[in-house]
Amino acid sequence: MSERFYKAVARRIHDVRVASGLTQEEVAARASLNPYHVSRIENGAENLSLQTLGRFALAMGVPVARFLEDVEVGAEVLERRPRLNARNPALRGAASDREADPG
């Protein structure tokens, strides 16, 4: 994901928390997170996992989707990138082989 995406989600977390009338400390306690961690996420200084996003949602009593509404996703997120399998050398060239041979 892009940095812009994470910052937009962070801003939405902040806005929902403020609208809910909760402090960072209250959200941290409800979500079993460190208040410092909550602050860094809200300020866009730290990215968050889906698990942490779920904790924020439970702590604030909102669906996870509330944090993602109207957040623009850049084109780089939608690009399909071939995956390489380092453990299986036979699969390393498979993605490029499919692109070269349309079938």
20 falls within a domain: yes
Residue 19: give its domain's CATH number.
1.10.260.40
Helices 24-31 and 35-42 cross at an angle (nearest 10°) of: 120
Helix (H, G, I), strand (E, B) or coil at 15: helix
Q: Rounded to an integer, what distance in angstroms lies between the CA atom of residue 62 and that of residue 65?
A: 8
Host domain of residue 9: 3-76
Q: How many domains does the chain have?
A: 1
55 falls within a domain: yes
For residues 94, 99, 101, 103, the Cα torsion angle rounded to the nearest 10 degrees is 100
99 falls within a domain: no
Which of these, 81, 89, 33, lies nearest to 57 by C-alpha position? 33
Which pLDDT value is given to residue 77? Answer: 47
Neighbours of 13 (CB within 10 A): 23
Which pLDDT value is given to residue 72? Answer: 74
Residue type (1 letter), 62: V
Confidence check: pLDDT of 26 > 70: yes
12 falls within a domain: yes
Residue type (1 letter), 37: H
103 falls within a domain: no
Give the model's confidence band at 39: pLDDT under 50 very low, under 70 low, under 90 confident, else very high: very high
Overall average pLDDT of the 19-26 stretch: 97
Give percent of the chain above pLDDT 70.
Answer: 69
Which of these, 7, 62, 1, lies nearest to 30 by C-alpha position? 62
Whole-model pTM above 0.85?
no
More confident residue, 63 or 96: 63
94 falls within a domain: no
97 falls within a domain: no
Which pLDDT value is given to residue 89? Answer: 56
